[in-house]
Amino acid sequence: MTTIPDPPSLIATLPGSFYTDPEIFRREQERLFESMWFCAVRCSDLDGPGAFRTVRVGRESVLVVRDRGGRLRAFLNVCRHRGARLCLEESGEVRRSLQCPYHAWTYDLDGRLIAAPHLGRMPDIDRTAQGLVPVELREWLGYAWLCLADEPPSFEETVVGAAVERLGDAAAIERYRVEDLALGRRVTYDVKANWKLIVENFMECYHCGTIHPELVDVLPEFATGYAAQYYVGHGAAFGEDVKGFTVDGSEGFARLPEVGEDQDRRYYAVTVKPTVFVNLVPDHVILHRMFPLAEDRTVVECDWLYAPDVVESGADLTKSVELFHRVNVQDFEACERTQPSMASRAYRSGGVLVPTEHHISHFHTWLTGRLGGSGT
């Protein structure tokens, strides 16, 4: 009789260099952030024609603007004349066109070159060909997702598919109508850690009992350290005495209208690789977008989204926002505590994952596959 040995309790993490090596970060920029769909902007932040925002996608600056027809468009933030950056501001509003401050080449909001000094004396210029370089844009969950790849991967498979894989079907996330929710609060965290430490942390709950007392009070099953959120379709149940997803378990707001009984009093977490976390609770949605800026620095924009009538009523969101804000601060402190050790000789060949963290190794396999090898 043959016996199948139990899998080992401890399996390897990535080596420390994956979190510190600028060359690995450069490959991640090229093969992940500049190749996959990247969640960039909340569409409602650009509320009228001419409203724009600039975002870093991999090594590029991208300009997202609402055109006069109300459509969102994205362009590389580079003047086609001699390459000056068109917009230096993070956000703003132009009246009718985008004008380069260097020699005043002027572009329509659809990207076409419409004016330039002495343009009339250059009749051979093709104004469309000399227009801004467009970037693919899709809207989903009320966000503009951008892709810099010449041939973008299937949005349905790689983005929507992540939610389907986690929740069991697409309807489960659609019921929250995230695209119709209003922004209640936004907090931007400047985290001195590699983006993968933040992803790995989000994927496990081994740390919940140690660093998230408030979260564990609301979601008692998190105290066990088992990442229940990773069983397909499972949402962590609120504790019996808990009235809402708030910092002290007090009442939240009314359940979002299409969220069903089966999703009530439950928390679902979805990771959309490479840089997005979606957290679903009955009365609001919390969405994290990461902007990896360097191998040891990641800006995280976190939005708390509520039914529009809740935000319009001026209701006090403090207790609702405070729960996940504390979770964020606790998580990011842990990541920042970990980052410097990635360069230590003690971590040269990495650390270990315990059984409740083993699923993180799928992320590592996916990552090293995309980067084309596990070494530097």
Q: Could you say which of 92, 102, 139, 340 contacts ligand FES (CB under 6 A)?
A: 102
CA 237 vs. chain centroid, Å, equals 24
**Residue 368 carries which side chain, given as an amino acid letter?**
T
- Fill in the per-residue mask, 199 to 238: x = in contact with ligand FES (CB under 6 A), - = not in contact: ----------------------------------------
Encoded tokens for 170: 């697409």
105 or 267: CB nearest ligand FES: 105
Q: Does 78 bind ligand FES (CB under 6 A)?
A: no
Query: How many of the other CB atoms lie within 10 Å of CB of 222?
Result: 21
Task: Provide the 10 A C-beta neighbour count for residue 66.
Answer: 22
Q: What whole-number distance in Å separates Cα of residue 291 and Cα of residue 280?
A: 21
Should residue 103 be labelled a site residue for ligand FES when binding is judged by CB under 6 A? yes
Q: At what angle do helices 195-203 and 360-371 cross, to 10 degrees?
A: 150
Please state the closest distance from residue 91 (CB atom) to ligand FES, in A.
21
Return the number of the residue (71 or 103) whose C-beta is nearest ligand FES: 103
The distance of closest approach from Cβ of residue 85 to ligand FES in the complex, given in angstroms and rounded to an integer, is: 9
The residue within the footprint of ligand FES, chosen from 59, 68, 71, 82 (CB under 6 A), is: 82
Give the integer Cα–Cα distance in Å for 231 and 146: 29
The H or E element that residue 15 is part of is none
Residue 366's binding partner, choosing from Fe ion, ligand FES, none, with beta-carbon cut-off 5 to 8 A by kind? none
Q: Which is nearer to ligand FES, 100 or 148 (CB)?
A: 100
Q: Which does 63 bind (CB under 5 to 8 A by kind): Fe ion, ligand FES, none?
A: none
DSSP H helical ranges for the chain: 22-28, 155, 161-167, 171-174, 195-203, 208-211, 213-218, 308-312, 318-338, 360-371
DSSP state of 80: T
Q: Which does 79 bind (CB under 5 to 8 A by kind): Fe ion, ligand FES, none?
A: ligand FES
Helices (H), 15-149: 22-28
Using the rule CB under 6 A, give the single segment among 14-22, 52-60, 74-82, 219-227 that binds ligand FES: 74-82
- Residue 103's binding partner, choosing from ligand FES, Fe ion, none, with beta-carbon cut-off 5 to 8 A by kind? ligand FES
Contact status: 84 vs ligand FES (CB under 6 A): yes
Span from 44-52, 82-90, 245-253, 300-308 in contact with ligand FES (CB under 6 A): 82-90
Long-range contacts of 257-263 (CB under 8 A, 24+ apart): 257/177, 257/307, 258/174, 258/175, 258/176, 258/177, 259/175, 259/176, 260/175, 263/172, 263/175, 263/235
Where do contacts with Fe ion occur on this chain (CB under 5 A)? Answer: 331
Selected from 105, 145, 267, 306, the binder of ligand FES by CB under 6 A is 105
Minimum distance of Fe ion from residue 215's CB (angstroms): 7
Among 32, 64, 98, 100, binds ligand FES (CB under 6 A): 100
End-to-end CA distance of the chain: 43
**Residue 79 contacts ligand FES per CB under 6 A:** yes
Min dist CB 88 to ligand FES, Å, is: 13
Residue 115 touching ligand FES (CB under 6 A): no
Amino acid occupying residue 373? G
**Binding flag, residue 306, ligand FES (CB under 6 A):** no
Regarding 75 and contact with ligand FES (CB under 6 A), the answer is no
The site partner of 331 among ligand FES, Fe ion, none (C-beta below 5 to 8 Å per kind) is Fe ion
Q: At what angle do helices 195-203 and 318-338 cross, to 10 degrees?
A: 120
> In Å, what is the CA distance from 225 to each residue of 118, 205, 228, 328, 354?
67, 5, 8, 17, 11
- Interface residues for ligand FES in 170-199 (CB under 6 A)? none
Residues that bind ligand FES (CB under 6 A): 79, 81-84, 100, 102-105
